[in-house]
């Protein structure tokens, strides 16, 4: 996603190029592009210089959007999203901790955009070779 954010709005990147840059399987990347496309986060571009590009500005794409598109709503344990997932939820002394942890994770994911990751990358300079999200 950082690769796509860096290329925005200039052009599309092929799955093969992104996979090579990030040391990932092209097949894996192709699989994760489908739900990202369905969520309106990326769009496919046809043609000789086609591939994928962000459908929105990097500053408007939150990590929570990406996470939700790929894995559904974040929940550190099942009872956080659905108290009925565990019959002991109402009397569980740790459920409150899980809920607090989940809230902290959501705060970070919702408060961080692809533009933020680009800025962090620039601050790190050439120290970073590959990114994943």
pLDDT at 128 exceeding the cut of 70: no
Q: Tell me the residue length of the chain.
A: 133
Of 130 and 21, which is predicted with more confidence? 21
Q: What domains does the chain contain, in order, with CATH numbers?
A: 1-60+114-128 (1.10.10.10), 62-112 (no CATH)
Identify whether the C-beta of residue 15 lies closer than 8 Å to the C-beta of residue 4: no
Q: Helix 26-38 vs helix 63-71: angle between axes, to the nearest 10 degrees?
A: 100
Confidence of residue 78 (pLDDT cuts 50, 70, 90): confident
Burial of residue 12, with CB atoms counted within 10 A of its CB: 0-12 exposed, 13-18 middle, 19 or more buried: buried
pLDDT at 54 exceeding the cut of 90: yes
Task: Provide the pLDDT for residue 4.
Answer: 93
Identify whether the C-beta of residue 45 lies closer than 8 Å to the C-beta of residue 53: yes
pTM of the entire predicted model: 0.82
């Amino acid at each position: 996603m950082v690769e796509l954010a860096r290329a925005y709005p200039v052009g599309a990147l092929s799955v093969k190029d992104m996979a090579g840059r990030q040391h990932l399987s092209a097949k894996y990347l192709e699989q994760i592009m489908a739900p990202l496309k369905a969520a309106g986060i990326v769009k496919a571009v046809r043609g000789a210089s086609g591939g994928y590009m962000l459908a929105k500005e990097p500053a408007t794409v939150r990590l929570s959007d990406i996470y939700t598109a790929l894995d559904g709503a974040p929940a550190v344990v099942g009872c956080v999203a659905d108290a009925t997932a565990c019959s002991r939820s109402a009397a569980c002394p740790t459920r409150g901790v899980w809920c607090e942890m989940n809230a902290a994770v959501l705060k970070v994911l919702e408060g961080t955009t692809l533009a933020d990751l680009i800025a962090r990358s620039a601050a790190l300079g050439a120290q970073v070779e590959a990114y994943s999200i």
